[in-house]
């Protein structure tokens, strides 16, 4: 899979010769209205400038990571290329495959559509965070036991989606499992085993 | 590849509105649509103003008069699962539960959902189309199987991508909007821009305006709402055809109702034809068939989307029948 490095490459701003009128400031800064009663203090000074790295503090798998990141770097990129956690996979990078699924504050989200800066202040859990030392966690064990993959590329995302599902619904029905895993594509078509793994994972988590 | 942009995540609405004064500054809520647009360089962005840390924009509650108040940053999942929504506005809960995928519902917000950009592949692709300031709508003679059958107005033939917006229009909801000159309320029915009025904007929001809240009035006694969506795959896909209904019944008779189509037009499309056909009637099979026929009588399909006509007819028939069975 070709990796796009967001630090280099053509500057997209020059590709299109037009501006949308969104935010072009037609109305000007000086505004009336009570909204501005708070005055200058209302403007948070912490702007991360374009094209430069700034300090970003992330909580990942229970640890604090202080990294330097550009505003446009996604959480997926920072996890993989800056921190070296390669569990979350780049697939489509547009929210259409689920390979990049991580938990943010306990719910499954796409790391490819999350800016790293946006994840500040949240607890991020990646595939690596489901390990107990060198031992697989229950959802990982269930996927291995159920042989729930062929090539395995989608597997980390599938596991994180199931983990997210089981955290809110410890005993899902077959239909709830299908729905819970419906944000993750498997190009190999291992769905039957993935659903079985999810079922087994629920049992393992409940201590059966 | 993303363009370079400044990023800021203010804590207050005022600060966000102030930051939006900068050149090519855009609002970031959940980011699920915005990041896709950035990656495709659809519009110029120099500054991303994230409103995700503005606390007052989160959450759902009930006003004293029974209206539902939904903060713009409420996630689509919360809208789908919230007990108040499920109990009193089942169509809205249903529509939210049919959006995109679980991860996108966990991250996408209701404000972002109604402000999302069109999904037309020419608009999203490397075509300088009308909506991007060019001179042509490439869908007219192109691959238009997912484009509109109503309201193209000879200009741009997108369909509005949202599942939630048609339900909000059916439920007569209002958007509360804050901007540099204060706060105003816009009925959802007037919120979406028709292409013949302004082909480059999807909403009537002025520069620097932020949707802060969605207000859904308490439904009159006897009102039931529903949403039905047809799509190629049961996950991710946008509506090929859909219908949002909010009907007020007296016994088995429809006193009045609002019927809004998705996947049909550049804006959520209120079907006056269906509404008139069912008003004052019991939903027997003749009335239902007449309503479904009336729904598509004025349709203007393009070269490759003629299938939407029988599809809409079927969807409307089935959904009206379902409502009548539960009346
Ligand atoms: C693969 C995929 C499939 C999808 N399928 C569906 C589907 O089936 N049905 C459906 O309805 N949607 C679908 N969507 C769209 C999805 O629901 C939207 O991306 C999401 O709701 C946007 O919310 P957000 O908070 O992430 O918005 P953002 O991406 O943060 O913002 C979206 C746009 O709205 C503007 N905006 C956001 N919030 C505000 C606000 N409060 N005030 C003013 N402007 C604002 C932003 O500037 C931006 O232009 C899909 C999206 C993807 C990526
Ligand atoms: S890489 Fe994120 S959804 Fe495909
Ligand atoms: S196992 Fe190959 S993509 Fe799922």
Residues B305 and B190 in one domain: no
Pairing, β B68-71 against β B60-62: antiparallel
Residues B319 and B210 in one domain: no
pTM: 0.92
Could you tell me if residue B122 is inside a domain? Answer: no
Residues B107 and B228 in one domain: no
Segment holding B213, helix H or strand E: strand B210-216
Here the CATH number for the domain that contains residue B297 is 3.30.390.50
Nearest residue by C-alpha to atom 46 in ligand 1: B27
Residue B186 has pLDDT above 50, yes or no: yes
Could you tell me if residue B126 is inside a domain? Answer: no
Residues B1 and B103 in one domain: no
Name beta bridge partners: B258.
B246
Query: Is the CB–ligand 3 distance for residue A143 below 6 Å?
Result: no
Sign of dihedral through CA atoms B125, B130, B132, B133? positive
Residue range B6-56, pLDDT digits in tens: 999 999 999 999 999 999 999 999 999 999 999 999 999 999 999 999 999
Residues B247 and B167 in one domain: no
Q: Which fold has domain A51-128?
A: Ubiquitin-like (UB roll) (3.10.20)
Here the CATH number for the domain that contains residue B49 is 3.30.43.10
pLDDT recorded at residue B89: 97
Percentage of chain B modeled with pLDDT above 90: 98
**Domains contained in chain B, number:** 3
Nearest to A108 among B4, B32, B103 (CB): B103
Residue range A137-180, pLDDT digits in tens: 999 999 999 999 999 999 999 999 999 999 999 999 999 999 99
Residues B83 and B180 in one domain: yes
Residues B230 and B241 in one domain: yes
Could you tell me if residue B179 is inside a domain? Answer: yes
Question: Which residue in B323, B314, B168, B166 sits closest to B243, CA to CA?
Answer: B166
List the single residue in A with minimal CA-CA distance to B115: A22
Here the CATH number for the domain that contains residue B177 is 3.30.465.10
Residues B38 and B60 in one domain: no
Rounded to the nearest whole angstrom, what is the distance from the C-alpha of residue A3 to the centroid of ligand 2? 13
Q: Where in chain A is the domain with CATH 3.10.20.30?
A: 51-128
Could you report the predicted ipTM of this complex, rounded to two decimals? 0.96
Nearest to B1 among A6, A22, A96 (CB): A6
Are B236 and A48 within 8 A, CB to CB? no
Residues B111 and B239 in one domain: no
Rounded to the nearest whole angstrom, what is the distance from the C-alpha of residue B30 to the centroid of ligand 1? 7
Encode burial over A95-122: b for 16+ CB neighbours within 10 A, e otherwise: bbbbbbbbbbeebbbbbbbbbbbbbbeb
Query: Is the CB–ligand 3 distance for residue A188 below 6 Å?
Result: yes
Rounded to the nearest whole angstrom, what is the distance from the C-alpha of residue A134 to the centroid of ligand 2? 27
Q: Where in chain A is the domain with CATH 1.10.150.120?
A: 131-208
Are B6 and A50 within 8 A, CB to CB? yes
Under a CB-based contact definition with an 8 Å cutoff, are residues B20 and A23 in contact?
A: yes
Nearest residue by C-alpha to atom 47 in ligand 1: B27
Residues B194 and B262 in one domain: no
Asked if B106 reaches chain A (Cβ–Cβ under 8 Å), the answer is: yes
Residues B184 and B96 in one domain: yes
Residues B96 and B173 in one domain: yes
pLDDT recorded at residue A24: 32
Could you tell me if residue B111 is inside a domain? Answer: yes
CA atoms of B293 and B300, how far apart (whole Å) = 14
Q: Which domain holds residue B2?
A: 1-54
Residues of A within 8 A of B76 (CB-CB) are none
Residue range B265-308, pLDDT digits in tens: 999 999 999 999 999 999 999 999 999 999 999 999 999 999 99
Pairing, β B25-28 against β B47-50: parallel
Selected from 3.40.50.300, 3.40.190.10, 1.10.150.120, 3.30.1330.40, the CATH number assigned to the domain covering A131-208 reads: 1.10.150.120
Nearest residue by C-alpha to atom 53 in ligand 1: A95
Name beta bridge partners: B230.
B241
pLDDT recorded at residue B154: 84
CA atoms of B261 and B275, how far apart (whole Å) = 12
CA atoms of B157 and A71, how far apart (whole Å) = 35
């Amino acid at each position: 899979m070709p990796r796009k490095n967001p630090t280099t490459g053509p500057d997209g701003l020059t590709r299109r010769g037009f501006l949308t009128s969104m935010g072009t400031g037609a109305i000007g800064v000086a505004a009336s209205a009570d909204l501005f009663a708070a005055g200058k203090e209302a403007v948070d000074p912490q702007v991360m400038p374009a094209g430069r790295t700034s300090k970003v503090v992330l909580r990942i798998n229970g640890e604090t990571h202080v990294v330097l990141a550009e505003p446009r770097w996604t959480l997926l990129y920072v996890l993989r290329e800056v921190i070296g956690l390669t569990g979350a996979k780049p697939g489509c990078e547009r929210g259409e495959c689920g390979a990049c699924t991580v938990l943010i504050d306990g719910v499954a989200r796409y790391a490819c559509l999350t800016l790293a800066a946006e994840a500040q202040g949240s607890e991020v859990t990646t595939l690596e965070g489901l390990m107990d030392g060198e031992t697989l966690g229950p959802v990982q064990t269930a996927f291995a036991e159920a042989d729930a993959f062929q090539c395995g590329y989608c597997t980390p995302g599938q596991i994180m989606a199931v983990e997210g599902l089981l955290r809110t619904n410890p005993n899902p029905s077959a239909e709830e499992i299908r729905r819970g895993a419906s944000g993750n594509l498997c190009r190999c078509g291992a769905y039957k085993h993935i659903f079985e793994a999810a079922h087994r994972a629920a049992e393992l988590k409940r201590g059966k | 590849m993303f363009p370079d942009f400044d990023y800021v995540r203010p804590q207050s609405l005022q600060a966000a509105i102030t930051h939006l004064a900068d050149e090519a500054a855009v609002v970031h809520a959940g980011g699920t649509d915005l990041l896709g647009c950035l990656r495709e360089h659809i519009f110029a962005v120099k500054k991303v103003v994230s409103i995700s840390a503005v606390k007052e924009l989160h959450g759902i509650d009930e006003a004293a008069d029974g209206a539902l108040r939904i903060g713009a940053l409420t996630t689509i999942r919360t809208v789908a699962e919230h007990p108040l929504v499920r109990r009193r506005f089942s169509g809205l809960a249903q529509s939210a539960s049919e959006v995109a995928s679980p991860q996108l519902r966990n991250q996408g917000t209701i404000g972002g959902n109604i402000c999302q950009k069109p999904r037309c592949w020419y608009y999203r692709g490397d075509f300088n189309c009308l909506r991007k300031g060019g001179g042509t709508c490439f869908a007219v003679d192109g691959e238009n199987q997912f484009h509109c059958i109503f309201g193209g107005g000879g200009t741009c033939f997108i369909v509005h991508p949202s599942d939630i917006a048609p339900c909000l229009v059916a439920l007569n909801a209002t958007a509360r909007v804050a901007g540099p000159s204060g706060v105003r309320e816009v009925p959802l029915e007037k919120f979406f821009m028709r292409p013949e009025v302004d082909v480059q904007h999807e909403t009537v929001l002025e520069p620097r305006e932020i949707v802060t809240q969605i207000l859904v009035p308490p439904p009159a006694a006897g009102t039931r709402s529903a949403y039905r969506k047809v799509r190629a795959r049961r996950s991710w896909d946008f509506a090929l055809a859909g219908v949002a209904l909010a009907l007020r019944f007296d016994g088995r008779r429809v006193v009045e109702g609002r019927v809004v189509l998705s996947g049909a037009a550049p804006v959520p499309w209120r079907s006056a034809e269906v509404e008139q056909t069912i008003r004052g009637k019991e939903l027997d099979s003749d009335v239902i068939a007449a309503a479904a026929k009336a729904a598509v009588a004025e349709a203007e399909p393009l070269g490759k989307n003629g299938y939407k006509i029988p599809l809409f007819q079927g969807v409307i028939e089935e959904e009206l029948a379902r409502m009548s069975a539960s009346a």
